[in-house]
């Protein structure tokens, strides 16, 4: 069964991860703390967070379209996020089997995300919504499914919270960036990653 799990954007490095059993307890404060850009402050990973972007990286991120990124654009986005250790959060978003229909249980987490994205500290942030799958099934199918599910999260946030769609970049990585490479079909690989780009 393919289930999609959330996070702004599947990279093998994360500042904060909401464990599967705790997904119901996600609050807007948790989201705000996880996506805060505070250069030089230690995060839960004990690494300094959010280095200042180079002018070239900032320019690239500002010009990214809000959907339909090519593979080379996704790779460059992932590289910038990794090199700059941008603030990010995985959210366990569940979908109906082989569908983009967001489960009722997951809407509360998306509502917490929506409230946080409208807070003063994030109101101007551009956010990547990265969809990831596990390695079960065919690569092309997984890529398409992750893209559609990232779009579904973006559409939910714009429709239910009034967030400007240009602030949100929907990206599908499929199975290309597994969180758990030792167990490619592990549930933790099915996620949405939310990343604060600036």
Q: What are phi and psi of 40, to 5 degrees?
A: 80, -5
Res. 189 pLDDT band, cuts 50 70 90: confident
The pLDDT of 44-56, averaged and rounded, is 62
- The model's pTM is 0.77
Q: How many CB atoms lie within 10 A of CB 29?
A: 12
Which residue, 41, 8, 4, 6, is CA-closest to 117? 8
Res. 38 pLDDT band, cuts 50 70 90: low
| Opening angle at CA 151, ends 110 and 168, nearest 5 | 70
The DSSP output letter for 17 is E
Average pLDDT of the residues of the chain: 80
15 pLDDT higher than 50: no
pLDDT 10s digits, 101-126: 888 888 999 999 999 999 999 999 99
Q: In terms of pLDDT, which residue wins out, 9 or 164?
A: 164
The predicted structure's pLDDT at residue 39: 56
Res. 22 pLDDT band, cuts 50 70 90: very low
10 pLDDT higher than 80: no
């Amino acid at each position: 069964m393919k289930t999609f799990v959330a996070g702004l954007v599947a990279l093998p490095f994360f500042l904060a991860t909401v464990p599967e059993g705790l997904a119901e307890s996600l609050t807007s404060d948790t989201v705000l703390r996880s996506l805060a850009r505070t250069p030089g402050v230690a995060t839960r990973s004990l690494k300094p967070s959010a280095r200042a972007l180079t002018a070239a990286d900032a320019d690239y991120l500002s010009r990214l379209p809000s959907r339909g990124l090519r593979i080379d654009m996704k790779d460059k986005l992932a590289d910038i996020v990794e090199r700059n250790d941008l603030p990010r959060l995985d959210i366990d978003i569940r979908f109906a089997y082989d569908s983009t229909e967001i489960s009722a249980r997951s809407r509360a987490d998306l509502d917490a995300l929506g409230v946080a994205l409208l807070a003063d500290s994030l109101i101007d942030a551009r956010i990547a919504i990265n969809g990831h799958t596990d390695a079960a099934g065919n690569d092309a199918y997984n890529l398409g499914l992750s893209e559609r599910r990232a779009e579904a999260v973006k559409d939910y946030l714009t429709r239910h919270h009034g967030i400007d769609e240009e602030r949100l970049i929907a990206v599908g990585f499929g199975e290309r960036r597994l969180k758990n490479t030792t167990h490619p079909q592990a549930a933790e690989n099915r996620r949405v990653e939310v990343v604060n780009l600036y």
